[in-house]
Amino acid sequence: MQALGREHVSDETLMLLWVRLLPSELAVLLNKSVIKVNAPQVVAKADRLHERLKSSKSYSQIFSLDSAQDSESDVTVKITNAVLAAISAQTKSDQRPSHPKTKERYNKSKSSNRCRLLLHPTLCMGGQICTPRQRPGKLEYPDVCEASAPGSLISDSKRLFIKDLCSGSVYLIDTGVEISVCPRGDADDSALTCMILHAANGTAIKTYGSCNINLNFGLRRKMNWSFIRADVPYSIFGADALVHFDLVPHLKCNRLIDNLTGLFAQGHLAPVTVHGISLVDPSHPLAHILRKHSQIFNSQATPSARATKMLHYLPTTDDPIAQRARRLTPEKLKAVRQQFAKWREEGICRPSDSPWSSPIHIVPKKTPGDFRICGDYRKLNAVTKPNRYPVPNLHDFTSILDGSKIFSTLDLYQAFHQIPMAPEDVPKTALITPIGLFEFLFMPFGLRNASQTFQQYVNKALWDLPFRF
């Protein structure tokens, strides 16, 4: 900037423009002293403050970057254009013939314009707001920033926030976030998962499992969604949930519109640090391929991503077996309500009046307060005819992988829930709980022959691939 400005732009103006490119925490600390010292001292002080802030590690390493820094290249281009335009205009005026009578007056006006060349018309030195006074005579050309990009150097990016009526929490509605996330909360480092999210600035975001949250935005329908626990300062309702529930944010009216019911939730706009979160590193050479097929990499079960031609059958040899519901602790009962509400929302299960009933079995997960819920189908499995479809032996993989150089694994999201149940066998999957009787439209966990059906599905999907296992 100094090389571009040289003698045509004052040092004070260059320092103010330089401060606007700094992170917000540095700009606040330097704002009072930026005009009082020279450039080398200010730069040295900024470096010391940056190292001090960098040593205090928190979630700010991901989200505390100022929005102006994220778009540093754009702001730099605008400032460069402004400086070059000012120099060009000043050069043209210098080339005009001057008369002895007007030379002194011309030099005064040139020196006064030089100090305010790149300042916003409503800002004075020190950041105070003031109104420029109109002078009589010939109209002056507007300042460069006013003409090219008004307010672009000081405006904050604003996003829509909607309040959840159930918990009172506020959610950021962001279409630039591929997957919905929430703060890690009380999850400790032991719950750290191998899943890594990527911010728009390339920063890796650690995750700590997932949690189901019941949301009520005042749209006359409750929404249950799975959020990824991550190192983020606030909950974000991302593009995955917006597409699933058919919601559209309207920033001009501060509304979240429900295309299904025609209702809307009123919110408010607030400045935030803009960071698009994605499952794929944007710099990865295969990022465009993964985005092209993003639907099959979604962390939520969608009907279009499930199997349609493969069904799971339950041939039984006895009359319906009915069992009683098991009593649950308040903590487990709450988990059951949330899980079955989520399954019903996703279309995995539905209320039932089946003569069959099996109790549920609950196993705690690594994350405190999270449980895995499945059916105790032992009595049902005892009267189910076995399926003799072969399942590969894990000890045979050494000979198959001999000479291979490239290895890959497939991890399916709720793999069993992607295979539909045969319509005539849906009542046999009924689970009895303290909150009701539910039957599964997709294959649940714990059924006999489930492994054989799933292996048959995998073989059918990968049959024409020579490198399948």
For residue range 158-197, what is the model confidence (pLDDT) as tens digits?
789 999 988 888 999 988 888 899 988 877 777 788 888 8
Run of H or E residues at 225: strand 223-230
Overall average pLDDT of the 122-145 stretch: 39
pLDDT of residue 224: 86
Q: Global pTM? A: 0.47
Tell me what the mean pLDDT of segment 390-412 comes to.
Answer: 78
Answer whether 348's CB lies under 8 Å from 442's CB: yes
More confident residue, 151 or 344: 344
Place of tokens 């439209």: 441
* Residue 335: pLDDT over 90: yes
Determine the pLDDT at residue 151: 36
Rounded to the nearest 5 degrees, what angle is found at the Cα of 192, between the Cα atoms of 188 and 194? Answer: 175
pLDDT digits (tens, 9 = 90+) for 215-227: 999 998 878 888 9
- List the beta bridge partners of residue 228: 181, 210
**Long-range pairs, 452-457, Cβ under 8 A, ≥24:** 452/387, 452/388, 452/389, 452/391, 453/310, 453/312, 453/313, 453/387, 453/389, 453/419, 454/415, 454/416, 454/419, 455/389, 455/390, 455/391, 455/392, 456/310, 456/389, 457/307, 457/310, 457/419
Overall average pLDDT of the 306-329 stretch: 88
- The mean per-residue pLDDT over the stretch 415-421 comes to 87
What integer best gives the mean pLDDT of the chain?
Answer: 73
Which region among 19-28, 268-277, 443-452 has the lowest average model confidence (pLDDT)? 19-28
Fold for the domain defined by 158-297: Cathepsin D, subunit A; domain 1 (2.40.70)
Supply φ then ψ for residue 364, to 5 degrees. Answer: -70, 145
* Each residue's pLDDT tens digit, 94-131: 445 444 444 444 444 444 443 333 333 333 333 333 34
* Residue 153, pLDDT score: 34
pLDDT at 459: 83
Domain boundaries, the chain: 2-94+102-132+143-148, 158-297, 303-394+406-461
Per-residue pLDDT averaged across 421-425, rounded?
A: 95
Rounded distance between C-alpha atoms, residue 443 and residue 338, angstroms: 19
* Per-residue tokens: 4: 């571009």
**Architecture of domain 303-394+406-461 in this structure:** Roll (3.10)
pLDDT, tens only, 347-366:
899 999 999 999 999 999 88
* C-alpha torsion sign, points 66, 71, 72, 75: negative
pLDDT digits (tens, 9 = 90+) for 26-75: 665 565 555 555 667 777 777 776 666 655 444 444 444 444 444 444 54
Q: Give per-residue burial for 104-123: e unless 16+ CB within 10 Å, then b.
A: eeeeeeeeebbebbbbbeeb
pLDDT at residue 238 is higher than 70: yes
Q: Are 215 and 172 in contact (CB under 8 A)?
A: no
Instruction: Judge residue 210's burial from the number of C-beta atoms within 10 Å of its C-beta, 0-12 exposed, 13-18 middle, 19 or more buried.
Output: buried
For residues 198 and 224, give the distance between their C-alpha atoms in angstroms, rounded to a whole number: 25
